Each structure stands twice: as structure tokens, then as C-alpha cells.
Structure 1
Amino acid sequence: MSPDGNGRDVTGEYDDEGGWISAELAEFEENERGAGAQDEPDTGPMPVVAVVGRPNVGKSTLVNRIIGRREAVVEDVPGVTRDRVTYEGTWRGRRFTLVDTGGWDPDATGMALRIAEQAQVAVELADVILFVVDATVGVTDADEVVASVLRRSGKPIVLAANKVDDQRMELEATTLWSLGLGEPHPVSALHGRSSGDLLDILLEIMPEAPPQRFAAERGPRRVALVGKPNVGKSSLLNKLAGEERVLVDPMAGTTRDPVDELVELGGKTWRFVDTAGIRRRERELQGADFYAGMRTKAALERSEVAVVLIDASEVLTEQDLRIISMVIESGRCMVVAFNKWDLVDEDRRYYLEKEIDRQLVRVPWALRVNISAKTGRHVDRLVPAIERALDSWGTRVPTARLNAFLSELIAATPPPVRGGKQPKILFATQASVEPPKFVLFTSGFLEETYRRFIERRLREEFGFAGSPVEVTMRIREKRGAKKQK
């Protein structure tokens, strides 16, 4: 293999392969151009609509109806939504931010009180308030108390009379005039009845969004906080944000919807996503927990780096390892954060390090930090690890340098003989970044052990700390035979 300045094989030994390699390379370059499309235009702050109301009046169902997909977790029991969760909505070409909140119960105590406090925060930050009331129940004492608080806020308010499924129920909705919030607008979040009319009214009173502007750089990098329930994901997000942004409770499973939060750290803005704890087996999930698990996976797919939290005060479990495997399969870069490190004594730390090295043998490349979300110990080490992982995730190796490296590697350690013949690596290229993917154009099949050997040496030569690396093959077959990967 003798690459020219562009890293292409120019020897006469493989004349019949020149056209094949060029065609294969052209295919990868075309795919890469398609994958590297322009980032979406950056926009200024969009109008914020807070959806509030007492528990189980259909707020999340209405949110799903407005955004046009089943994103918010919905179940026919009160108290499913607990944090304030943001979504992007679009109607008649105008974009806005929709904030789904937990049930607002003025008489709440304990966790329910904290859920109500999150709803009040959403009202303070909103431009428009969408107050949802169950028309089939009518005005309750809780509705009247919430209405009085909303009137004092001075914000524009739209009163939605939900669960109006037919014309007969529209007459029932007229009783909601007594709340003193103006005309009640009948709607059925479940069936979509009059939802378009409701959105028209919202557009009339919400402020205009600023004009779109195109930024040279991408927006804040997205970091997903994942792990099993009660491992400290929400505590870490609150510590990073410097406020109680999401609910924290000793009861496992407090978070159900992924919660985004913009946080300023290290002179940069990051978008951290707190996710629901991933249970042991999907088939054990029911109701809201099942959909919460789906949202967690979707949040991971939308993120660029995953911070996997593991409880350092306990032994690593099969559940922890399954979550790590899920991150590997997603192709995201990864930082493993061992939380609650302050609860581990010196003797236990020594043996824990040994356990970690043994059990994380599949991901020796994952960056590791030991932190305490509760006390803030070593939390400052998290961002440098995330930045290093993201740098690795986006690393591109020049083709000439890659082929020169492989020439030396193959000369020192040739591929093993298979079927009486020794396969040759004719050419190599990096097909993509985020995550880095390398393609070897070969004259025959390379054993998996040898591909892992190449991956290991690529990491030693070029880094890739914290990032998965994929090494695949394109095999030159006889004419008419099918290529393999």
C-alpha cells in the first residue's frame, strides 16, 4: 500500500481495484456530504406558553396534541408529570416554546407541594399562560385558588375547557366564566376537537418571535444524564444549575419526562438533559414508566454525549452495565461518573477501582470521574471530561496519515491467514465523525480479533478517549459477488 498525497493507493499492484476503490470511496463521500448538512438555523428566544392546571385535567394530553406527537408522558392517573418540561411547538409558521407542568394543587404537601412550586416557576417565566380546566367536573376550589394566583401574575391567560367531546358539553363549559379569566375555550385534547381554534387564540396574544438569524457555530452541546433510578441524576443537574431545577426525592423514579436545562459552565453554555431512571428490564415496565423509558432513549439519541451515573456506594450491577451498552449502541461519546463518592471509605475505594477495571473491560476508552452531586465534590471535573470526549467524538484523521499508519502496522503485524490466503488491506478512509467510523477496503475477510486490534492501535495513535470507534470492511469480491461489511 503506497498512498499518494491524498492517501490513495497509486501502486500498480492493484490496477483492477483502482476503479472499485474509487467507486466505493465516492459512495462514502456522497453519504458524508448528506450527513453533514447545514445545522438548523439558530433563533432568538421564542415566546413561552406555560400549560398549568390542577392534576389530571389533561395538560400533557393537550401538549401532545399541540406539538403533534406523543412526547409528554400521559397516564390516566393524577401526578404523572412532575417537573416542568419544555417542548417546541409550531402553528401557522410561528414557533413557540411549550412548558408542560405538574399538577398545581394549592393544598398539596410533600412532593406534590414541590410539583406545584415548579408550576408557579413556569408561570413566572412564561409570556402566555394556558390554564387547563376539566369541563366535565366544573369549577373546583383548587381551580378558583389557582385562577386568583394567575390573575395576580398580570400575564395574558387563555382558559381551556378540556374534555369537551361534543356540543352538549360546550354548554357545561360556560360555567367556567365564573373563574374571572374571560371566555372559556372548549377543546378536547384527546380527540383534537377545536384544538386549532385554541392555537389561533394563543397566537393572537403571544409576542412575536424575533427573526431567525444564522449562527456560524452550532448551539449548546447536549449532554444526557442517564443511569438507573435514584442514582443522583436530578441532584447533579440541580448542582450544576445552581438551583432546584428538577425534583429530588429518595423515592426512586421521581423523574419521568426528560428535562432540559441550559447551564453555564466553564465559560460555555451546555444543554443538560435529566432523564428517567432506566429500569432493569423493559418488559417489567408498565404505564407511565414504560413511556418514560422510551423518552429516555429518545433523549439519548438527540444528545451528543452521555454522562452515565453509577452509585459508587454500591457494587456495579447488571443494570449499570446494560445502560452502558445502550450508550455504546447509540454511538454517543461517554463519561462514566461514579456518584456518591463521599460515601465510600478508603478501603472500599481501592477494591472498587479493581471492580471497575474488571467490569468495564468492554469500554476501557470511557472517561471516568468520581463525584458527589450532593456535596459538589469534584463536580468541576465533569466538564473537562465532557469536552475531551466531544473532541474525540469529532476527530477526523487525515487519509494520508491514516494509510501511512496502517502500512506500518500491517508490515509489523500482518492480518492472519484465512482459508489459506492472507487478506490485504488495500486502502482505508474515515467515513464519518460523531462517532468516528473507519472503513478498510480489503481483498478478503478480516477476523474480528484483528479488527479489534486495529481499533486498539488507532486509539493508541490518535486518541479517541471517551468516544466509540467503529471499524468496518469493504471486501473486494469476484465480479458479480456481493460486497460485505
Structure 2
Amino acid sequence: MSKPIIALVGRPNVGKSTLFNRLTRSRDAIVADYPGLTRDRQYGTGRLGSQPYIVVDTGGLSGETEGVDPLMAGQVRAALDEADAVLFLVDGRQGILPADEQIANYVRLFDKPVLVLVNKAEGFDHEIAKAEFFKLGMGDPMAISSAHGDNVEQAINSILPKIPPKEQIDDFDLDEQPGVRVAVIGRPNVGKSTLINRMIGEERVVAFDMPGTTRDSIFVPFERDGESYTLIDTAGVRRRKNIKEKIEKFSIVKAIEAMEQSHVVVLVIDGSEGLTDQDLTLIGLAIESGRGLVLAVNKWDNLTAYQREKVKAELVRRLQFVEYAKQHLISALHGSGVGDLFKTIQQVHTAAFKRISTSDLNRVLEQAVLEHQPPLIAGRRVKLRYAHLGGLNPPRVIVHGNQVDKLSEGYTRYLTNVFRKAFKWTGTPVMIEYKTTENPFEGRKAKPKFENRMDERAKADALMRKRKKKKKTQKKRIQ
């Protein structure tokens, strides 16, 4: 069954993005580094709470425009339309404002379960902070702190049971399908359906020269060279401002679900248009899903020599953050380069599920530390003691040691590249998690510095007295 969708709405600066990051357990760098993720609606997989879900962050609503429709047009309306529940954020320090009442009136029109979250309530009496917001008439508000995490998990666990279960669209059980599951994603009209038809050798998927032909995820099981595959064709993902038909508003959600259901993601890029911000957004979502990634630059046969060199240079310049993903220059229409995709897909799938022994991991970790020592933190050297494999697809390495939680992103990237090269983790993200080893001397009281100095001085005085006494004894003997 599909995951429930929870939309975050509210005025600017009430903490929606901070709450989004906490619910998805994502890093600020991921939000900032990929253009397009925050310009429109931002999607992520909820990892905080009792069950999985998709969370949608929306832009802030000022409430200063006349009328509700202009205020709610565009992204927020689309988010509310596709959501199964709504988290309505307000600012507990500013109190209720007219814009909050406007937003509440509009949200009420969608007849979705709503929970009012009184944010920035840290340091305040929660009952007092939320008392004013009963006026919105949307049930019992909950005081939270998205920055500090206060009551955030309680809030998500409170709204999830209010979401009615979704009906199963069909009886296709993806988990029962053998072999490699491959999600084919990309913007509309880049040739995804044409590529799938070429890969399986028959017209199994409708393909027209019209954006948005594919309306839902389509599962295509087949075999090639004795290997089983299930291809997942997704609806074209277009920029939010270009989405008009209600049925197409779900395309990004279907793409996220398809990636999570897959083992390997093939992102199709239109070579004639080059690398767009929306392509980078999809790459960011693929990385966030943790699945192996293959980049297929389509319509390569239509490009001139100058255009090809320009596209190659752009791919090198803009895709440094995902340099582990292998690129294929293909023509889905004529089939050139398509056959090579299967070899890479198999390599990526094998790498993502490769089991590595703890002894091998520690051998590589020890060598990595010898070649490049961790930095000093407050005058103390970070110690990486041992590592073990914590999960597959993507490979997850757990590193234990002292002060490891203070290691820089640069050193983490270094370790990632060392492990990737050593174990041939081709085309898949490699996740490194740190666990701080407990200090066996923690809790023991150390002697104050002045006491240590006193001890040293007393020893020095005793030694001096002993020397003087020895000299006196020697003089008496001489006399």
C-alpha cells in the first residue's frame, strides 16, 4: 500500500523547513546543495515516528494578498490536494495572526485531518503557549519545538492514526517478483517509456511524443540473458508550476515510491536539453532514497559534435557530488548504448548487496587511518577503533571510536572513497555512521591541577633535602 502523505503548511519563518529536516532526518547540506529542492514543494521520506510516510514542505504564506485563492494558489494548493493529512505550523512566540486564520479557513476546505503545531515553544509553559490557538477551531493544538525536537515524534504519531487507509490499486505484489528491480525516472518526454520498450524488446509501455503520457507507475517483469528484472516506469516529473491536471500532481510522489521500491535507479536525461535543475532535484531524491544510481543521457544520436562536447563538460562540472554513478550515452529510439545499461545495472545491484566481513572492513579502516590520520579535536587525536557492516542497499558502515561524532565531512568523504575503492561499491551510495565508544575512565574524578603541582613540588623538596643530607654526611666522613 502507498505511504501516507503529510503536508506542512504555515506562514514564513514558523519552522516548516526545520521540522521537515527533523522528520526526514536529512541534513541541511542536502537541502541547500541541490537546486530546485526548496524552490517549489520539497518531498522527503519520513523517518521519525511509528510508520513510514512522505512529508511535503511548502513555501511560506504571508497572508498579505487580498483574498484566499491568490494566497493559496500554486504549490500550497497542490500540496494540500495530494496530502492525506496536514500539519499546520504557527509561531507560539508571536501568537495568533490574521494570516493564521486565513490559512486555517482555507485548509478546512480540503477536509483532511489537521493538527495545529505551536512551534518555538521551548522554554515556555506548553499549556499557555497553545491556549490562544484554540481560537482556530481545529482541535487541540500541540506545542512543539522543531529546532530542539520537543514533542515532534509525539506530533507525528498523533496525526498518523487519523489518516484513513488507502485502497490497494491492484494486486501486483512487487516483493514476490524475482531479480533486479529497476526504477526508470526522469522529466516528462525524456524518453523513459521508449527506453523501457527498447530494453525489453517490445511495445509494453505506451510511448507518445507528448509530455505526461505515463500517468502512474507501471511494473514490467521480464528476463534477459537468463537474468530476471522488473522495470518500474514512472510518470514524468515536471516543474510544479507546470502541473495543471490533478492526476499529474501525484507524479513526484510516485517517483519517490518507485525509487524506494527499487534496487537500482536509472535516471534518464535529455541530452538535447542538457542537465537541468529538475534533473539535479531528481538525483538528490535518488541519493536520499539510498538506491544505486545509473545516469542515461538519451537522444545522443541527435547531437552535433560540438553539442556532445558541451554536454560532457557540463556533466563533469555539475555532477561531482555523484561521481560514483556511471554515465551512459544512449539513444532509446535507435537502441545504441542501451545494451550496456544491463551490465552496469547488474554491477550496481551486486555492489549494493555485497556482504563484507568485519575483519576486511577493519583491515581497510586501519590502512586508511595510517595513510591519513584523523584531525585533532581540542588537542586530542580522534581514534577510530573498529568498524562493521550495518546494512545493505545502500552499504552502511558503522565506525566506532572516540570523538568520532566530531569528525568533519571532509574526513567522512575520505573514508567513503577508501571503502568504495577497496570493496568495489560501484554506483551505490556508501553511508558511514559513527558510534562513540564509552570512555572507561568517565566518571572518575581527576586530581585538580594545583594538587598535581603540589605533589610535584613536595617530591622536588624531598629530593633536595635528601641531597643536602647526603652532602653533610660526606663532609663529616672527610673531617
TM range (shorter): 0.5 to 0.7
Letter of the 2:274 counterpart: V
Whether contact under 8 Å (1:389, 1:465) holds in the other structure is yes
| Pick aligned residue for 2:381 from 407, 412, 422 | 422
Letter of the 2:295 counterpart: V
Identical residues among aligned pairs (%):
34
Question: What is the match of residue 360 of structure 1?
Answer: 319
CA distance, structure 1, for counterparts of residue 360 and residue 313 of structure 2: 36
Q: CA deviation at 1:401?
A: 1.5
Map 1:20-59; keep pairs closer than 5 Å: none
Q: CA deviation at 1:329?
A: 0.5
1:441 maps onto 2:409 in alignment: no
Whether contact under 8 Å (1:266, 1:383) holds in the other structure is no
Whether contact under 8 Å (1:428, 1:438) holds in the other structure is yes
1:226 maps onto 2:185 in alignment: yes
| Structure-2 change in CA distance of 1:87 and 1:342 (3 Å) | farther
Letter of the 1:469 counterpart: V
CA distance, structure 2, for counterparts of residue 446 and residue 370 of structure 1: 38
**Residues 417-441 of structure 1 deviation map (CA, whole Å, 9 limit, x = unaligned):** 1122111001111111111000110
| Pick aligned residue for 2:292 from 333, 339, 354 | 333
Letter of the 2:433 counterpart: T
Stretches (4+) displaced over 3 A:
86-89, 281-286, 477-481
1:258 maps onto 2:220 in alignment: no
CA distance, structure 1, for counterparts of residue 212 and residue 295 of structure 2: 20
1:375 maps onto 2:334 in alignment: yes
Map 1:107-118; keep pairs closer than 5 Å: none
1:461 maps onto 2:461 in alignment: no
1:384 maps onto 2:343 in alignment: yes
Q: CA deviation at 1:283?
A: 10
CA distance, structure 1, for counterparts of residue 242 and residue 395 of structure 2: 33
**Higher RCO, Cα 8 Å, sep 6+:** 1
CA distance, structure 2, for counterparts of residue 265 and residue 469 of structure 1: 28
CA distance, structure 1, for counterparts of residue 225 and residue 310 of structure 2: 33
Question: What is the match of residue 302 of structure 2?
Answer: 343
Letter of the 2:227 counterpart: K
| Structure-2 change in CA distance of 1:265 and 1:480 (3 Å) | farther
Question: What is the match of residue 171 of structure 2?
Answer: 87
CA distance, structure 1, for counterparts of residue 253 and residue 348 of structure 2: 25
**Residues 153-187 of structure 1 deviation map (CA, whole Å, 9 limit, x = unaligned):** xxxxxxxxxxxxxxxxxxxxxxxxxxxxxxxxxxx
Matched residues, number: 276
Q: CA deviation at 1:267?
A: 2.2
Question: What is the match of residue 125 of structure 2?
Answer: none
Q: CA deviation at 1:280?
A: 2.4
Q: CA deviation at 1:71?
A: 5.6
Whether contact under 8 Å (1:260, 1:272) holds in the other structure is yes
Question: What is the match of residue 6 of structure 1?
Answer: none
Map 1:68-217; keep pairs closer than 5 Å: 69-70=166-167, 72=169, 87-88=171-172
Q: CA deviation at 1:478?
A: 5.4
Whether contact under 8 Å (1:305, 1:390) holds in the other structure is yes
Q: CA deviation at 1:453?
A: 0.7
CA distance, structure 1, for counterparts of residue 245 and residue 379 of structure 2: 54
Q: CA deviation at 1:281?
A: 3.7
Letter of the 1:234 counterpart: S
Instruction: For residue 357 of structure 1, give the secondary structure of its aligned residue in structure 2.
Output: helix
Q: Normalised by the size of structure 2, how large is the TM-score?
A: 0.54
**Residues 267-289 of structure 1 deviation map (CA, whole Å, 9 limit, x = unaligned):** 22211111001122489566111
Instruction: For residue 394 of structure 2, give the secondary structure of its aligned residue in structure 1.
Output: coil
Q: CA deviation at 1:88?
A: 3.3
Q: CA deviation at 1:384?
A: 0.3
**Residues 102-125 of structure 1 deviation map (CA, whole Å, 9 limit, x = unaligned):** xxxxxxxxxxxxxxxxxxxxxxxx
1:294 maps onto 2:253 in alignment: yes
1:318 maps onto 2:291 in alignment: no
Instruction: For residue 225 of structure 1, give the secondary structure of its aligned residue in structure 2.
Output: strand
1:470 maps onto 2:431 in alignment: yes
Instruction: For residue 87 of structure 1, give the secondary structure of its aligned residue in structure 2.
Output: coil
Whether contact under 8 Å (2:199, 2:339) holds in the other structure is no
CA distance, structure 1, for counterparts of residue 171 and residue 297 of structure 2: 30
Whether contact under 8 Å (1:394, 1:434) holds in the other structure is yes
CA distance, structure 1, for counterparts of residue 172 and residue 441 of structure 2: 50
| Structure-2 change in CA distance of 1:402 and 1:372 (3 Å) | same
| Structure-2 change in CA distance of 1:474 and 1:282 (3 Å) | farther
CA distance, structure 2, for counterparts of residue 480 and residue 308 of structure 1: 51
1:397 maps onto 2:397 in alignment: no
CA distance, structure 2, for counterparts of residue 451 and residue 283 of structure 1: 39
Question: What is the match of residue 81 of structure 2?
Answer: none
Whether contact under 8 Å (2:183, 2:258) holds in the other structure is yes
Question: What is the match of residue 266 of structure 2?
Answer: 307
Instruction: For residue 344 of structure 2, give the secondary structure of its aligned residue in structure 1.
Output: helix
CA distance, structure 1, for counterparts of residue 188 and residue 440 of structure 2: 54
Letter of the 1:464 counterpart: W
Larger radius of gyration: 2
CA distance, structure 2, for counterparts of residue 324 and residue 241 of structure 1: 24
CA distance, structure 2, for counterparts of residue 264 and residue 282 of structure 1: 39
| Structure-2 change in CA distance of 1:379 and 1:87 (3 Å) | same
**Residues 216-264 of structure 1 deviation map (CA, whole Å, 9 limit, x = unaligned):** xx71221110001111001111122222212112211110111111222
1:277 maps onto 2:361 in alignment: no
Letter of the 1:88 counterpart: F
Q: CA deviation at 1:70?
A: 4.3
Q: CA deviation at 1:412?
A: 2.0
Question: What is the match of residue 235 of structure 1?
Answer: 194
Whether contact under 8 Å (1:451, 1:471) holds in the other structure is yes
**Residues 361-397 of structure 1 deviation map (CA, whole Å, 9 limit, x = unaligned):** 1111001111111011121111001001111111222
Letter of the 1:460 counterpart: K
Instruction: For residue 345 of structure 2, give the secondary structure of its aligned residue in structure 1.
Output: helix
Question: What is the match of residue 146 of structure 1?
Answer: none
Let me know the Cα RMSD of the aligned residues.
2.5
Letter of the 1:318 counterpart: D
Identify unmatched segments of 5+ residues in structure 2.
1-164, 443-479
Q: CA deviation at 1:476?
A: 2.7
